[in-house]
Amino acid sequence: MRALVYHGPGRKAWEEVPDPVLQDDTDAIVRVDAVTICGTDLHIMKGDVPEVTDGRILGHEAVGMVESVGSGVKNVRPGDRVLVSCITSCGACRFCREGRYGQCLGGGGWILGHLIDGTQAEYVRVPFADTSTYPVPDGATDEQILMVADILPTGYEVGVLNGAVQPGDVVAVVGAGPIGLSAMMGARLFSPSHIVAIDLADSRLDAAKQFGADIVVNNGREDAKAVIADLTGGLGADVSIEAVGVPATFELAVALSRPGGHIANIGVHGEPATLHLEEQWIRDVTITTGLVDTYTTPTLLRLVTTNQLDATKFVTHHFSLDEFEEAYDVFGRAADTGALKVVLTRS
Ligand SMILES: NC(=O)c1ccc[n+]([C@@H]2O[C@H](COP(=O)([O-])OP(=O)(O)OC[C@H]3O[C@@H](n4cnc5c(N)ncnc54)[C@H](O)[C@@H]3O)[C@@H](O)[C@H]2O)c1
Ligand SMILES: [Zn+2]
Ligand SMILES: [Zn+2]
């Protein structure tokens, strides 16, 4: 088969590799019908994720058809259309039993396209198939369901639910990439009074208006703290969500929150960020962090298939599988190309 193989920082190729085979009796082999690229794949390409080594097939999001299953797989059958989630779950360890699948101790967690070969290929081996795949609901398109593999649960769980968004809240979202936009879309479900999107790129702020933000702030030109203060009688946001992953945006998210407010960090941070405890100790704030667990996947699948969430809005570009190099280029130059999510399909 062909696959997108990582060959060290800055080097990758769509090349011929051996077909994946069943290794454990709980595995499934899935034919990839639709697949996308994540911002995290760009981090890997820069060399920011050293656990990913030369020869690894990238990708942790896919929709496809089950080809074969091991003898221990009970619920998934060849011919089933399934969502392959970014998080794999053994289903039996302490953390899986409390729905904390991202922290799986039994060999799951974020492994696809990281510690084992991933989905950016014609076929993928999915461990713990019963607990790591989800049936695609009838009538849903591959493209809609693909958005539930990573970005929608990440924005919803780590942003909206960890941030405890309530009706009437003022919600500030710092960063309007696919993850920040997912958080805005998820926050809308709770009828906040305002969603304020904050980003340096006007193209991303334009997108934010389509994803539920009613106020947009370019913090390269405007003072986000002053905008939030005006809106809240000087108090600050009820919930502020960080969806960038650099020290300045974490510190901004904290500064935007009101006393008693929630600050939900989603961004992957590579450098230390300062928590000004000398200011915050007295303000009763709650700060949360997290890796997505995907425990909301069944809920999100229902919301997407009933059009309560319009997942297709994320998809800005289409390619076939053998156009992976172009797809990475377009996705990697998002500020110029306007890319949010690119979808590659079997032709
Ligand atoms: N916690 C998790 O489980 C999880 C899962 C997936 C992704 N992530 C992380 O979420 C973050 C966002 O992902 P994404 O795919 O949306 O990324 P992205 O790069 O597409 O979007 C980031 C946005 O932040 C904006 N930005 C950059 N610097 C800024 C600043 N100083 N002020 C305001 N805006 C700024 C950029 O213009 C861009 O629009 C990343 O750090 C990613 O690694 C976390
Ligand atoms: Zn991802
Ligand atoms: Zn587990």
Average pLDDT over residues 253-278: 96
The reply to whether ligand 1 has any atom less than 6 angstroms from the CB of 273 is no
β-pairing verdict for 62-69 and 12-16: unpaired
The reply to whether ligand 1 has any atom less than 6 angstroms from the CB of 106 is no
If you ran DSSP here, which 8-state letter would residue 291 be given? -
Q: Is residue 335 predicted with pLDDT exceeding 90?
A: no
- Enter the pTM of the model: 0.97
If you ran DSSP here, which 8-state letter would residue 306 be given? T
Q: Which residues pair with 171 in a beta bridge?
A: 195, 239
Q: CB–CB of 4/58 below 8 Å?
A: yes
Task: Write the CB contacts of 256 (distance below 8 Å, at least 6 apart in sequence).
Answer: 172, 174, 224, 225, 228, 236, 237, 240
Q: Is the dihedral of CA 196, 166, 308, 77 positive or negative?
A: positive
Tens of pLDDT, residue by residue over 173-217, are 999 999 999 999 999 999 999 999 999 999 999 999 999 999 999
The reply to whether ligand 1 has any atom less than 6 angstroms from the CB of 266 is yes
Tens of pLDDT, residue by residue over 99-118, are 999 999 999 999 999 999 99
d(C-alpha 89, C-alpha 74), whole Å: 15
What does the block give as tokens for 21?
């085979």
The reply to whether ligand 1 has any atom less than 6 angstroms from the CB of 174 is yes
Q: Which pLDDT value is given to residue 18?
A: 98
CA dihedral 116, 40, 83, 67 (to 10 degrees): -30
Give residue 324 CA to ligand 3 midpoint distance, Å.
32
Q: Which pLDDT value is given to residue 48?
A: 85
Confidence label for 19 from pLDDT (cuts 50, 70 and 90) = very high
Give DSSP secondary structure letters for 185-245: HHHHTT--SEEEEEES-HHHHHHHHHTT-SEEEETTTS-HHHHHHHHTTTS-EEEEEE-S-
Confidence label for 347 from pLDDT (cuts 50, 70 and 90) = confident
